[in-house]
């Protein structure tokens, strides 16, 4: 399991398109939300045999876009398609095909969805589909989405809309168990969990978990199972090692030794603000709090003995903007695996992620040895500076890897699920545009 709702795409393919979801860049397939945290939110675009056919010039009659359905016969004539977000339970919403707005033509509106709806993009490896989705404002106090849809207004739903609007798409949590807080203990049945963690725990997706906090808005909120002394950026084996508002990005997601984070910091929702030691990283849909760091101070990124060179780096994402907004408010400590030398797009290279006046020399390097590469946009290189997070796995002089050291960011067989987020989860790409130097 993964925090699909927040994750950046490996290799930084997220910069290729403002609206493209992770499935367009990776290999996830479309299986609908199951209100238990492991969700891939792509619709079943195979039309029901009862779907009505009509051309682009058909006169609009009436619609029930966003209303729950199990087959297209339940949809009205101007929203004739039932797109499935849970194929197992056969749960979907009525919608219509649409034309997305083109960000490159600011004085023209191509989006042909009715008022209160927006054209959403669903990308598969073979094709891309566009359907109208209901716009909404995330809330923890009430769910603005139609009850029949079973969905909520997740802050991360901007992944489907080029202009960064939030929409009703992700599955809403219905009970506190829909917001699981995972431990690192593996299981196949509840008995294993109750023996290790007590009667309130249960087995879910192969790991013992506790029920979190499902808010009235259908969004998972702060729970009570974290560590009071935990901080953003701390190493972690599970959600239990992080704050009550946070979760653990694990080894399976390319975060060596785990990384405590918390989400929805870019939404204005009360209780989701970043703590003092962190700032909001806006390349994650809805925003994810990352640890602040100072590039002028060697080792200020994590300072974790178990980290190796090429694991984590302090990046000046505050140098870059998307849609005239800084990607972060300060330099942040984050995993190197996302920052390939060719991933920034356009003419940008690794040097833009270095702070002004910094002597740490942020350039394109070999991730295993730290050696500077000749090509500043080498697709096999990563943005790294002189202040490594630890000894590099490869000793350049000896020419051999350190014994027992896996390549940084590669799943070495550990890895726990990351939970504590909504019942609807999908990977993150930037909300709009390509990063620009600030």
Q: pLDDT (tens digit, 9 = 90+) per residue, 108-129? A: 788 899 989 999 998 887 889 9
- DSSP string spanning 76-127? -TTS-EEEEEETTTTEEEEE-B-----TT-TT-----SPTTEEEEEEE-SS-
60 occurs within a structural domain: yes
Q: Looking at the structure, do residues 47 and 167 belong to the same domain, yes or no?
A: yes
Q: Looking at the structure, do residues 267 and 159 belong to the same domain, yes or no?
A: no
388 occurs within a structural domain: yes
What value does the CA radius of gyration of the chain take, rounded to a whole number of Å?
22
Domain final residue, candidates 151, 174, 197: 174
Number of structural domains found in the chain: 2
**Who has greater pLDDT, 186 or 302?**
186
- Residue 94: band (very low, low, confident or very high) from pLDDT cuts 50, 70, 90: very high
Q: Looking at the structure, do residues 344 and 249 belong to the same domain, yes or no?
A: yes
Identify the pLDDT of residue 398: 52
Identify the pLDDT of residue 389: 82
Residue 183 has pLDDT above 50, yes or no: yes
Domain final residue, candidates 135, 155, 174: 174
Domain final residue, candidates 174, 190, 205: 174
342 token code pair: 């060719």
Identify the pLDDT of residue 368: 92
Highest-pLDDT range among 205-219, 359-373, 399-413: 205-219
169 vs 160: CA distance, rounded Å: 9
Residue 199 has pLDDT above 90, yes or no: yes
Give the chain's mean pLDDT: 79
Identify the pLDDT of residue 196: 96
**Who has greater pLDDT, 197 or 31?**
197
- Residue 438: band (very low, low, confident or very high) from pLDDT cuts 50, 70, 90: low
Determine which of 43-47, 235-239, 322-326 has the lowest per-residue pLDDT on average: 43-47
Residue 223 has pLDDT above 90, yes or no: yes
430 occurs within a structural domain: no
**Who has greater pLDDT, 388 or 139?**
139
Residue 186 has pLDDT above 80, yes or no: yes
CB contact burial 237-261 (16+ within 10 A = b; e otherwise): bbbbbbbbbbbbbbbbbbbbbbbbb
Kindly report, residue by residue over 152-182, the tens digit of the pLDDT.
999 999 888 876 789 999 999 999 999 999 9
Q: For residue 341, what are the domain limits?
A: 229-401
List CB contacts of 260: < 8 A, sequence separation 6 or more: 230, 231, 232, 233, 234, 235, 236, 241, 242, 243, 246, 247, 248, 249
Highest-pLDDT range among 5-19, 154-168, 262-276: 262-276
Q: Looking at the structure, do residues 165 and 63 belong to the same domain, yes or no?
A: yes
């Amino acid at each position: 399991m993964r925090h699909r709702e927040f994750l950046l795409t490996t290799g930084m393919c997220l910069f290729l398109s403002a609206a493209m979801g992770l499935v367009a860049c990776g290999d996830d397939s479309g299986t609908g939300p199951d209100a238990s945290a492991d969700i891939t939110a792509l619709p079943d675009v195979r039309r029901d045999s009862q779907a009505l056919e009509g051309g682009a010039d058909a006169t609009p009659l009436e619609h029930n876009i966003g209303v729950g359905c199990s087959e297209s016969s339940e949809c009205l004539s101007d929203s004739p398609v039932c797109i499935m977000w849970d194929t197992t339970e056969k749960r979907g919403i009525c919608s219509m095909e649409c034309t997305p707005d083109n960000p490159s033509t600011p004085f023209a509106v191509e989006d042909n969805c009715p008022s209160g709806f927006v054209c959403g993009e669903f990308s598969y490896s073979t094709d891309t589909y566009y359907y109208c989705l209901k716009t909404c404002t995330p809330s923890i106090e009430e769910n603005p989405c139609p009850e029949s849809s079973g969905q909520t207004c997740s802050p991360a739903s901007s992944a489907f809309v080029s202009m960064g609007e939030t929409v009703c798409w992700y599955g809403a949590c219905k009970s506190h168990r829909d917001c699981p807080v995972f431990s690192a203990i593996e299981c196949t049945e509840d008995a294993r969990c109750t023996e290790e963690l007590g009667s309130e725990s249960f087995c879910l997706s192969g790991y013992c978990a506790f029920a979190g906090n499902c808010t009235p808005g259908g969004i998972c909120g702060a729970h009570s199972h974290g560590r009071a002394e935990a901080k953003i950026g701390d190493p972690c084996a599970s959600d239990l090692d992080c704050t009550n508002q946070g979760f653990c990005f694990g080894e399976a997601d390319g975060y060596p030794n785990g990384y405590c984070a918390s989400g929805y910091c870019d939404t204005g929702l009360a209780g989701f603000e970043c703590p003092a030691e962190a700032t909001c990283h806006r390349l994650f849909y809805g925003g994810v709090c990352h640890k602040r760091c100072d590039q002028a101070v060697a080792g200020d990124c994590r300072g974790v003995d178990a980290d190796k060179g090429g694991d984590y780096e302090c990046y000046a994402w505050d140098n870059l903007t998307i849609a005239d907004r800084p990607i972060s408010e300060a330099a942040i400590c984050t995993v190197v695996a996302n920052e390939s030398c060719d991933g920034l797009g356009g003419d940008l290279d690794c040097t833009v992620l270095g702070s002004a006046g910094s002597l740490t020399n942020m350039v394109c390097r070999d991730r295993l040895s730290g050696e500077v590469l000749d090509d500043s946009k080498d697709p096999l290189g990563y943005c790294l500076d002189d202040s490594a997070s630890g000894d590099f796995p490869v000793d350049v002089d000896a020419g051999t890897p350190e014994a027992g050291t896996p390549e940084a960011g590669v799943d070495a067989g550990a890895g726990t699920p990351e939970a504590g987020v909504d019942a609807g989860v999908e990977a993150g790409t930037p909300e709009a545009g390509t990063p620009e130097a600030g």
